[in-house]
A and B are shown apart, each in its own frame.
Chain A
Amino acid sequence: MPIDILMPALSPTMTEGKLAKWVKKEGDTIKAGDVIAEIETDKATMEVEAVDEGTLAKILVPEGTENVAVNTAIALLAGEGESASDVSAAKAPAEAPKAEAAPAPKEEAKPAAAPAAPAVKAPVAPPPSDEDRFFKNTQTMTVREALRDAMAEEMRKDGSVFVMGEEVAEYQGAYKVTQGLLQEFGPDRVIDTPITEHGFAGLAVGAAFGGLRPVVEFMTFNFSMQAIDHIINSAAKTLYMSGGQMGCPIVFRGPNGAAARVAAQHSQEYSSWYAHIPGLKVVSPYSAADAKGLLKAAIRDPNPVVFLENEILYGQHFEVPTDPDFIIPIGRAKIERAGTDVTITAFSLQVGMALAAAEKLAEQGISAEVINLRSIRPLDVHTIVESVKKTNRLVSVEEGWPFAGIGAEMSAVMMEHAFDYLDAPVVRVHGKDVPMPYAANLEKLALPQVDDVVTAAKAVLYR
């Protein structure tokens, strides 16, 4: 059988081109790899190389022809044992059986109806939790201690869990979160890295692909921008790109957001950055109990989890269950204070702000319900919507910038799931849309304050 030589596509976008020149002529012997013709595409003149061997039996499209469609037969190649004359006698030029046998998928593909995006479905109830029962027996501890205990307990349980980052071992943690881990687990599992965020984040992703469960500490999340390619392109996307083969069980943790007087480069809040990415989970605890229960869940999770802590919270005390089985499933918000007049959502340090605001509002006869989001992605839409169905008003509080921030997402959630229940537009309380200033007075102006939340709550109540 003679072989059709087809007009090739020479770029991802080419549909037709000009057959500029025949380099081989009829009767020439052709080896695989020989240049047989030159073709002009929209971008460049390219050479066409032969894939099969044989004799160029017949040229079907003369040189100089413009607008030759991709996959048109441009010549016939006689194979071994066939003569050129056999081919031209036996075969009409118009036939192009190969081209018909293998049509391009984009031509044949019908616009298949993609399944509806989950986002437009009714909010599903969050994963069940029985965390309340654990609070019968508690002890007081700081967020810092709770984080450390979570890591230590998971490391005792699973030998594949290890901690790496800058100053996590001998220095005992830049913020003392990893205090004592080196002494208990040794240098093979508590690993001081050089200052090399891009490198150690990528290395940890490779270790996770290789079957380990890394906990990567960023001294602060500001430095995760050095490593963000590995968090997003390597950790978050590889499961999908591998058709489900390459899970990446890894935790990226560290303090996020403003601390105090460290100015613009050291004060950024990253929740909306990471929450934008399918393939990542994003968690941001408020209390020590949140910190312990959620970090344990994050370490056990088979997916990459971005765990956003807060330096100012590290030293704050909370009640934490003593039961070693205490864990908080990712994806569940917590109603920190029940109320009936307005819903206030917040996460991390801002939960404290919202609770303080609720106290002030109560003094003015306003009953605010404060929801601690805890998990940013997946977001517990169900709990938020159920609350708004009751209060009909929502104030979103966050430390980050407003544009495409968590408050913007909260507003979209209200449009999609609670539009008919709203008695007022959503109001966002957020960090000012400026790089963080150093001066104490300006920094205070840039960050959300309790009174901002109070004012916002009264605004949605038209009071």
Chain B
Amino acid sequence: MATTTRRRAKPAENAAPEPTQEELLHYYKEMLLIRRFEEKAGQLYGMGLIGGFCHLYIGQEAVVVGMQAAQLPGDSVITSYRDHGHMLACGMDAKGVMAELTGRAGGYSKGKGGSMHMFSREKNFYGGHGIVGAQTPIGTGLAFAHKYKKDGCIDVCYLGDGAVNQGQVYESFNMAALWKLPVIYVIENNKYAMGTSQQRASAGELYLRGSAYGIPGKQVNGMDVLEVKKAADEAVAYVRGGNGPMILEMKTYRYRGHSMSDPAKYRTKEEVNKMRSEYDCIDHLKSLLFTKGYADEESLKVIDRDVKAVVTEAADFATTSPEPDAAELWTDILVEA
């Protein structure tokens, strides 16, 4: 299966050009959108408008925003159940995502999937998977399809530090390396698999988990969108160049609980507060924007207001969109031939 790359990514060895003002402001806006969206989702959950499981992405925003910035149209993305940020980063409409959270007809899955199960063929977002680790072989299969079709695209497959202990992850690594499939495995290591810390669950370093298969791995500061972007550029070039898969371990942190009903007894408040106050990805980029003279308090306030408007509109839509029609119970079980 020879791979032809129609669109050339920037070669990895080139010194990464300095990010432009426009790019930095874009990252800021994207990360802020995810944060405000998630805060609103948490609030709607608190009001009983969102039910079931709801896993918030607050704290980890730099990972998806940095990765997405390195991708090209046509590249596919797949992740697990902490997926709201990934969908927004892919360009999916905040209204449709929020309305799915509230289980309404205007949601991406017509209200039938919920927080953990959303998809967009248009934006090449393939879920949203509720079974820990299951997205890994599926993402590897999306990469298989890219190679089979010779479309020059790659798959970005996110998995957590909990999923890395599932056997199917290594079955996937093996096949991806064996067949040189164009997939980047992004391990979002937020230090806790639900309530179990990495130290208590995982032997060894996660970025080395592919080494037996010859898959290069790299540890990245996932709290810094520019470091994520730089690593993503290199990985995208490597993978799109037909060299097979690559692993990026993003060291990141979620401020909120695993899900909404997490009493957070497995870590100290001091630890959470330290991460929030010293390592926050949005605060970090904000200071950079100020230092470079790319923004001031006033110009960021405009962005804040724009983002807030998007989130408010999404929440309004999500609370006014009707519940799915009862007839929807019986649709979408099989595709009619």
- Most central of A105, A113, A278 by chain B CB within 10 Å: A105
Expressed in whole angstroms, the Cα–Cα distance for A229 and B137 within the complex equals 12
* Cβ-defined contact, B178 with A207, below 8 A: no
* Cβ-defined contact, B49 with A202, below 8 A: no
- Residues of B within 8 Å of A99, CB to CB, are 47
Instruction: List 10 contacting pairs A-B, 8 Å CB cutoff, sorted by A.
Output: A44-B265, A46-B263, A70-B47, A105-B102, A114-B329, A210-B76, A230-B138, A240-B332, A242-B113, A245-B109
Q: Interface code B72-114, partner A: CB below 8 Å = 1, 0 otherwise? A: 0000101000000000000000000000001100011111110
| CB proximity to B under 8 Å, residues A177-224 | 188, 193-194, 196, 198-212
Q: B6 at interface (Cβ–Cβ under 8 A)?
A: no
- Residues of B within 8 Å of A212, CB to CB, are 144-145, 148-149
- The listed residue (B102, B128, B134) touching A229 by CB distance below 8 A is B134
**Also in contact, A8 and B142, with CB within 8 A (given A105-B103, A112-B326, A246-B121):** no
* Cβ-defined contact, A51 with B40, below 8 A: yes
* Cβ-defined contact, B76 with A279, below 8 A: no
* Cβ-defined contact, A202 with B148, below 8 A: no
- Residues of A within 8 Å of B167, CB to CB, are 198
Q: Number of B residues contacting the other chain (C-beta, 8 Å)?
A: 75
* Cβ-defined contact, A118 with B120, below 8 A: no
The smallest C-beta distance from B233 to any residue of chain A, in angstroms, reads 24
Known: A8-B47, A238-B119, A243-B111. 7 other contacts (CB 8 A): A12-B51, A196-B175, A202-B168, A205-B137, A206-B145, A242-B108, A244-B110
**Also in contact, A202 and B172, with CB within 8 A (given A233-B131, A242-B109, A244-B332):** yes
The smallest C-beta distance from A191 to any residue of chain B, in angstroms, reads 8
**Also in contact, A199 and B137, with CB within 8 A (given A12-B51, A241-B113):** yes
Q: A448 at interface (Cβ–Cβ under 8 A)?
A: no
Expressed in whole angstroms, the Cα–Cα distance for A44 and B261 within the complex equals 9
- Residues of A within 8 Å of B108, CB to CB, are 242-243, 245
- Residues of A within 8 Å of B130, CB to CB, are 233
The chain A residue sitting closest to B143, CB to CB, is A206
Q: Interface code A37-75, partner B: CB below 8 Å = 1, 0 otherwise? A: 000010111111101000000000000000000110000
- The listed residue (A33, A51, A207) touching B144 by CB distance below 8 A is A207
Q: A88 at interface (Cβ–Cβ under 8 A)?
A: no
* Cβ-defined contact, B335 with A210, below 8 A: no
Q: B127 at interface (Cβ–Cβ under 8 A)?
A: yes
Expressed in whole angstroms, the Cα–Cα distance for A193 and B126 within the complex equals 24
Expressed in whole angstroms, the Cα–Cα distance for A408 and B131 within the complex equals 31
* Cβ-defined contact, B137 with A230, below 8 A: yes
* Cβ-defined contact, A105 with B333, below 8 A: no
- Residues of A within 8 Å of B335, CB to CB, are 239, 244, 247, 249, 302-303
Q: A122 at interface (Cβ–Cβ under 8 A)?
A: no
On B, residues with C-beta under 8 Å from A are: 1, 39-40, 42-43, 45-49, 51-53, 76, 78, 102-103, 107-113, 117-121, 126-131, 134, 136-146, 148-149, 167-168, 171-172, 174-175, 178, 255, 260-261, 263-265, 276, 319, 323, 326-327, 329-335, 337
* Cβ-defined contact, B52 with A12, below 8 A: yes
- The listed residue (A51, A196, A202) touching B141 by CB distance below 8 A is A202
* Cβ-defined contact, A239 with B171, below 8 A: no
* Cβ-defined contact, A105 with B126, below 8 A: no
* Cβ-defined contact, B142 with A206, below 8 A: yes
| CB proximity to B under 8 Å, residues A66-112 | 70-71, 99, 102, 104-107, 109, 112
* Cβ-defined contact, B45 with A8, below 8 A: yes
**Also in contact, A240 and B112, with CB within 8 A (given A115-B327, A196-B175):** yes
The chain B residue sitting closest to A233, CB to CB, is B131
Expressed in whole angstroms, the Cα–Cα distance for A241 and B213 within the complex equals 34
* Cβ-defined contact, B263 with A206, below 8 A: no
- The listed residue (A43, A208, A279) touching B261 by CB distance below 8 A is A43
- The listed residue (A10, A33, A198, A278) touching B168 by CB distance below 8 A is A198
Q: A234 at interface (Cβ–Cβ under 8 A)?
A: yes
- The listed residue (B39, B134, B146) touching A32 by CB distance below 8 A is B39
- Residues of A within 8 Å of B110, CB to CB, are 243-244
**Also in contact, A105 and B49, with CB within 8 A (given A10-B261, A188-B1):** yes
* Cβ-defined contact, A45 with B263, below 8 A: yes
Q: A281 at interface (Cβ–Cβ under 8 A)?
A: yes
The chain A residue sitting closest to B103, CB to CB, is A105
- Residues of B within 8 Å of A44, CB to CB, are 261, 263, 265
- Residues of B within 8 Å of A114, CB to CB, are 326, 329
Expressed in whole angstroms, the Cα–Cα distance for A27 and B128 within the complex equals 42
* Cβ-defined contact, B334 with A279, below 8 A: yes
**Also in contact, A196 and B47, with CB within 8 A (given A207-B144, A239-B332):** no
The chain A residue sitting closest to B78, CB to CB, is A206
* Cβ-defined contact, B142 with A11, below 8 A: no
* Cβ-defined contact, A102 with B168, below 8 A: no
- The listed residue (A102, A193, A205, A239) touching B47 by CB distance below 8 A is A102
- The listed residue (A6, A210, A240, A302) touching B146 by CB distance below 8 A is A210
Expressed in whole angstroms, the Cα–Cα distance for A200 and B172 within the complex equals 8
- Most central of A51, A193, A196, A203 by chain B CB within 10 Å: A203
The smallest C-beta distance from B303 to any residue of chain A, in angstroms, reads 15
The smallest C-beta distance from A43 to any residue of chain B, in angstroms, reads 6
Expressed in whole angstroms, the Cα–Cα distance for A249 and B146 within the complex equals 17
- The listed residue (B111, B121, B178) touching A245 by CB distance below 8 A is B121
- The listed residue (B117, B261, B323) touching A11 by CB distance below 8 A is B261
* Cβ-defined contact, B175 with A206, below 8 A: no
Q: A452 at interface (Cβ–Cβ under 8 A)?
A: no
Q: A162 at interface (Cβ–Cβ under 8 A)?
A: yes
- Residues of B within 8 Å of A281, CB to CB, are 334
The smallest C-beta distance from A407 to any residue of chain B, in angstroms, reads 25
- Residues of B within 8 Å of A238, CB to CB, are 117, 119, 127
Q: A386 at interface (Cβ–Cβ under 8 A)?
A: no
